Amino acid sequence: MSGTHYATEILKELERLLTRISNTELETMAELVLRSEKVFIAGAGRSGLMGKAFAMRLMHTGRQVYVAGETVTPGIGPTDLLLLCSGSGETGSLTVMARKAVRIGARVGLITIKPESTIGQLAEAIVQVPASAKEDTAASGAAITIQPMGSLFEQGLLLCLDALVLTLMDMEGITGADMFGRHANLE
Ligand SMILES: O=C([C@H](O)CO)[C@H](O)[C@H](O)COP(=O)(O)O
């Protein structure tokens, strides 16, 4: 298979994956975002990069958004949401954050392959992105993707988060122009 054929195959994988994501779960997550004063986003590695892309768009919708671990990020409080992006739902640093957020009384949201995971058990709202786990794609036969590791999850995660932004725009009557007005002007 050549480069563009791979890209076409990836699109087919994503189409199959996205039809298996629940609208109800997405809407529940959108409602949780709207009910929270501040939204803190966290994820490790590539999952974290997708989370950061979402954090920017969520800021564009007018919400108070922070990426956990950045120097200017304040503390989380009981009226806030910690939204975690983790395929496994078991990543150590994120599990620690989730436990701390729960202890403080904040809500935890999770986008994951594994709702039954440690973080899943701490989360009030979960959107399941039913891709292959990163370790399964390394083992022959177990995967539903031709891609290595967590790539299918991470791509599905980004699309799912962009769908969440559109859902929030619908719910709040926000336009793309409103959002563009909030974009960074020191680029
Ligand atoms: O970067 C990642 C790795 O390349 C797998 O594709 C993962 O996103 C990172 O390891 C975090 O894992 P999860 O918390 O299980 O998403």
Summarised one tens digit per residue, pLDDT across range 169-184 is: 999 999 999 999 999 9
In this predicted structure, the answer to whether residue 112 has a pLDDT above a threshold of 70 is yes
Higher pLDDT, 136 or 122: 122
Which residues contact ligand 1 via a Cβ below 6 A? 44-47, 86-88, 91, 134, 149-150, 154
Per residue in 32-49, pLDDT (tens digit) is 999 999 999 999 999 999
**Given pLDDT bands bounded at 50, 70 and 90, which one contains residue 142?**
low
> Please, which residues have CB within 8 angstroms of residue 174's CB and are 6 or more apart in sequence?
61, 62, 168
d(CA 100, CA 119): 11
Closest Cα partner for 100 from 72, 116, 78?
Answer: 78
User: pTM here?
Assistant: 0.96
ipTM for the whole complex:
0.97
Q: Cβ distance 20 to 62 under 8 Å? A: no
Residue 84 Cα to ligand 1 midpoint, Å, equals 12
